[in-house]
Every structure is written in structure tokens, then in C-alpha cells.
Structure 1
Amino acid sequence: MTKPAGPPTLLQDDDRPAFPLDAWYAVGWDHEVGRTLRPVRVADQPLVLYRRTDGQAVALADSCWHRLVPLSMGALIGDEVECGYHGIRYDGDGRATFMPAQQTLNPSACVRSYPVVERHRFVWVWTGDPARADPDRVPDMHWNADPGWAGDGTSIRLDCDYRLILDNLMDLTHEAFVHRSTLAQAEINHERLDVVHDGSTVTATKWMLGITPPPFWSAQLQTVFPDYAGPVDRWQIINFAAPSTITIDVGIAKAGTGAPQGDRSHGVANRILNTITPETATTCHYFWAIARDYRLGEQRITTQLRDGVTRVFAEDVAMLTAQQRAIEANPGHAFYNLNIDAGGMWARRAIDALVDRELAGAVPAGTGR
């Protein structure tokens, strides 16, 4: 990996598409896709989701071959989708199996079927060329299903460009201002952010040593060390994988006990798991979870963490929605970049590289597990 000399420039009137199509995008938590027709728009493409009787998740284009009526307005008959307008049925591969009032099926009667993978408690759909749909490129969010971790999460629909969420997550200095009552502390804006990148991934790291923990983290540390009230070493390690997944390694440990050198036995750690699915150029679905590596059997802590992060993210939603409205009111405006923006700007460059390679017809490089 190489370190950037400084944050690159970003103009808001870039003509390239906002998102690549050759990518795995989360379309729902595993429990949300079942034996009902579930409409969702991904990368500006309307899809309908359901499960076959054998449990396999299916994603079809949400428009009937006959008159383009959304299939999600129809019915699930066995493993087939029946259009609610004229009753044409389609199997899980998108091929028509029945047409009303005729024995012969038109051989062109089909709708697009999308590759689907279930991993890390999410259902993922590939929106681009199906020949490139390599399951190994599903982003690594294994903490969400790892028995060595406990956690939970949810999803949020936002009226903003998905890249604004990536900007927000790649720069946690906003905690000092947006999240004053929970995560804020002055050291966030004093300590250096180290950023490295390799073209498709970006890692931003910050250590805050010998500090007083903010309320959120103080409460977490005391679930394991109830009598400790001293200074802590705090870390934030943000890992971005193009085009839209960020996992954040965060935690605190008793000051001076070796956390920067790798010994976290005197602290607590969380993984904040984030994957953002563009719905359109200005709307998106934000899937997130928080997992921890301590007190794994206590549902109370799991619920408290999920609810706490939900309140924190609600503050982000208000800010990001307002930012999107301001961008729309100021077309062509250039973002002015500070040193704190380096992680987000390199993440955007990685997205642009995927889009550019896709437009050129090349197979984009990807990461996953």
C-alpha cells in the first residue's frame, strides 16, 4: 500500500455514473427475504425478491415481459411469480412457464434473473454482467455471523447519494460535532489520521492514547472492567472496500496496557459493519450492524448497543439529508478538502476506477471473503 500525498480533488458535476453495476449489493437481511414478493430498487434497477420452497433466494427484474407491470404486484405460486395483470408466470430463472388463453409459449417471454448470494446474514445481488458475478467478491463482513462475536443491526433508507455516507464513515472527526453527547471528545480532532490505499481498498487509522473515554465507551469498558475509571487508549481503524462497504474496528483499552502493539486483553472492541446500496443517484439503503467480542451471551448488551448506534446514526441521517439538499441547490459546486477528507476522497477514487474500467469493458478488480 502507498500513502497519499494529500486528498485528491472532487467536483460534484462529474459526468461518470455514480456507481458501478458489476458489484455485489446488499438487498436485505436474510430474514427479510421470504415467501412474499419484496420489491426493491438497486443501482436504479427495479427488482423483486422472494424465496423458493427450497429456501433459495431469487431476484428477478420487477417488470412483466408482456406489459411491464411490476411483478411485485402479483402473487407467488409455488416457486413461480404470477403477474397480477394477466397471469403470466415466471420461474426462478425468469422464463415464462404459463400464458393465459394459449398453449404455445412465446420463446422470448422472459425477465432478467439476477445472481444472488447469501453471506454474513445479508442477501446480495449482482446488478452487472452475470458472467462476472464471482461470489468470492462479496465484501468481508464475517463478524456479523462469526460465533466469536455477538451483535445485531438494521437498515435505513436515506434520501442522499450513497457516497455521502461513505464520506461520513471514512472521517470520524465529525463525531466531535454531530455526536456531542455520545462519542465526542476533543482528541478526535487533535490526533493524526493515517491513510493508506491500494486502488480498491482504503484504510484510515487513528489512535488516541491516555485519554478520558466518552460516555458510550466508558459504559462498554465497565461491562468487563466495572471498577476501572482511569484513562484509556482508543482506536479507530476504518477499512473501505469498493464500491460501498466499510468495516470499522473501534475500541478502548486501559491506557498503557499494550493495545497499540496488539494486546487488547485489557479492553473492549466493536466492529461497525456498513454496506450501502445505491437505490438511485440520490437515494440509498444503508445496512449496518455492530458486533462485539465480549460478554457474548448477554442479549441485553446486544440490544443496548444496537439501540445506542441507532440513535447515533439518526443524527447522521439528519445531517446527510440536509447535505444532499444543499448539493442539489448548488449544482457544479466543488468540495473543498481538508486533511481529514483523505480517506473519503481515496474511497471515491476507488469507486471512479471501478466505473471507468466497467465503461471501458474491463473486468474490475474486487475484494471479498
Structure 2
Amino acid sequence: MSRSYPRNCWYVAATSDEVTGTPLGRRAVDQAVVLFRVSDGRAVALEDRCAHRPYPLSLGRVDGDTIVSGYTGFAYDASGACVRVPTQDRIPVGARVRAFPVHDDGTFVWAWLGDPARASLRTAPSVPWLADPAWASFGSQWETHAAIDLLQENFADISHITVVDPDFAPPVLRSAPPRLDVEVSETSVSFSRDYPPAELTAWHSELVGRPAGTLFRQRELGQFVTPGLWVDGWEAGEDGGGPACTFRFTHALTPIDATHTRHLWRVSRDFALQPDAEQTLRPMFEQYYRRVQAILETMQAVLDRDGPRPTVSVSADAAALQVRKIVRQMVADETPR
């Protein structure tokens, strides 16, 4: 199966709190990676395979600034170089494993799993709202048996929410949507859509502290930041004045291989910051995202069984089609000619 994702990209390898002094094994971009922290707290990402024997380093231990294979005893530093062999003083020539550039922003540990020389040419994405006390966030992560492009195109079009979960969907989505404004750069796609004043769902009205029937101006926002990050937003402000209350949805997508994707999601809000609000919101969003996961896995099963076929596009696909062009070009740029 052809690859639907670029290697030269920052992807979330783990959350920052998952990376500790105990090795963490992950698979990303069709390769095994081990993550750990050295004595000064820096996050390190290495190839998860001892250079001497095919044994995962993630099954070993961290010893100060090195990781030690649990089978061979070979020790590797943060650069991937072997620095100790238990049976001899001389280190074999070329004894090393691949080291990957990392960026730890305190929320996510991003890894660059492609050409390391290109990592400095692109800044890792920024998600400051996830650590901002003005926002309350919750979420989860799981593996979806579907190619990353199926997830990207799902987030590029929210019109299907009314079909997947009508009670969860904003009422304004039940009528013909206004025009979608799309902006495209070389590597990103942003879009927005302004809706006429309308009611919110009952649970949403309750969260913003307004009675049912209150009209709100509403705005949909979305951005394909990189192949590894999609950010959505939904703003609602009372018609006639007042600041907007915003939901922000963060989707960190990491391709495991051609047909599996790690999906790390966060739902953030700048209103109703009290903890009991999460008790209302979490089960609803988790149920919705699980439904979407099942749908995406069903589509992947159809593709696995019957192969790809031409598809029909509609106006709601405007952002998704631009995302598809960017990703295909990024992949093509990595393909030897």
C-alpha cells in the first residue's frame, strides 16, 4: 500500500508526562521508537532496536544518561552511540542506533522521524492553550485502524456530525451551511464559516449559563497545521453582544504504519471552567469520537478488502481537497526521482 503521509514532519510521539526515566516503546512512521529522559530531564528518542541483536531497547533500562539493552547489555547515549559493551573495553566501529530530533513543549513530545537534517527547517507546532490556565482541557488517545488521511479528511468536514450523532450536533448544522472560506498556504489549510444566529444544543446552552431558546451567533474554525496536527474551533456568542465562548479541539495524529494511526485528542474550552463541567462533557465527546473511530475503521476495512475507487466530491470537501493536495506533494517531494 502506498504511503499517505510524509516522513519529514513533526509528529507527537507521546505526551510529556508519558516520557520518564523508564523506557517507553512506540511505533510511529512505520518504525520502532524508544523514548526516555536522561539525567537533566531532556527527552530522547532513539531507534528501538539494539545494534548487536534485534532486541527492543524499550525492554531495557535507563542508567543515568544511557539506555541499556535488557538482553545484550549494550549501552547507548542520547546521540544513539554505543558507549559500553559488557564483554569488552573496545566499542565496535559503527555500533550505534538512529537518534531522532525531539521537541518537548511540556505538553507533547514531538519527534522528527524523517531526514534529521531537515528538522531545523520546520518549527514544531505550538499548542499553548493546552497549558494555559485560561483554558480547561480533557481528552484521551487511542490507536485507530485507519490510514491517517482518513482521519485528516474527517476533521476537514464536520457536516457529517448531524448524521453520526444528531443530538450532539449544533442545530445550525441541520440546514444548508453558509459558504466555507478556505485559505491555503504551502503547507497548511485554514477555513472558517459564520452561521446566522440560532439556538445551541441544550447541554451547550446550560454550560454558557443561558436559557434554552437564546440565540447565538456561531462560527466554525478549522486548521490543518501539519499532517500531524489538526485544530478545530467552535465559537458561540449571544446574539446582540457579549464575548464568544470557544471550544477548541486538538487532534494530534501520528501514523503508525500505512493503515494505523495514533489519535491523541483534547477538548478545550475558555468558559465553564469548573471541574463538574468536564463530567458532563467528557462522556459525550468520548462517545462521539469512538463512533467516528468505528466509522473510519469500517472505511479502512472496505479499502483493505476492495481497494481504492474514484470518489465523488461536494462543496463541503473544499478544505479536505486542499489538505489532500498538500500531503500528496509532501510525500512526492520525499520520493526519489
- TM-score of the superposed pair, with normalisation by structure 2: 0.93
**How many angstroms apart in 2 are the aligned matches of 1:239 and 1:36?**
35
Superposition pairs for residues 103-182 of structure 1, below 5 Å?
A: 103-119=89-105, 121-134=107-120, 137-182=123-168
- Please point out which of 69, 73, 82 is paired with 2:59: 73
Between the aligned residues of both structures, percent identity stands at: 27
Q: Which residue of 1 aligns with 2:329?
A: 353
Q: Which residue of 2 aligns with 1:294?
A: 271
- Are 2:190 and 1:203 equivalent residues in the alignment? yes
Q: Kindly tell me: are residues 243 and 214 of structure 1, through their superposed partners in 2, closer, same or farther at Cα, counting changes over 3 Å?
A: same
Instruction: Compare 169-178 and 30-39 and name the one that shifted more.
Output: 30-39
Superposition pairs for residues 1-369 of structure 1, below 5 Å?
A: 15=2, 17-119=3-105, 121-134=107-120, 137-185=123-171, 187-192=173-178, 193-222=180-209, 225=210, 227=211, 229-257=213-241, 265=243, 267-296=244-273, 298-359=274-335
Q: Which residue of 2 aligns with 1:9?
A: none
Q: Kindly tell me: are residues 184 and 253 of structure 1, through their superposed partners in 2, closer, same or farther at Cα, counting changes over 3 Å?
A: closer
**How many angstroms apart in 1 are the aligned matches of 2:84 and 2:245?**
57
The alpha carbon displacement at 1:196 in A equals 2.5
Q: What are the ranges of 5 or more consecutive residues in structure 2 without an aligned counterpart?
A: none
Could you tell me which amino acid in structure 2 is paired with residue 67 of structure 1? R
* Contact persistence 2:143–2:263 (CA under 8 A): yes
**How many angstroms apart in 2 are the aligned matches of 1:307 and 1:93?**
42
Could you tell me which amino acid in structure 2 is paired with residue 76 of structure 1? V
* Contact persistence 1:25–1:124 (CA under 8 A): yes
**How many angstroms apart in 2 are the aligned matches of 1:307 and 1:80?**
41
**How many angstroms apart in 2 are the aligned matches of 1:85 and 1:327?**
40
- TM-score of the superposed pair, with normalisation by structure 1: 0.85
Q: What are the ranges of 5 or more consecutive residues in structure 1 without an aligned counterpart?
A: 1-12, 258-263, 362-369
Residues 156-187 of structure 1 show CA distances to partners (whole Å, capped at 9, x for unaligned) of 21110011111111100011111222125363
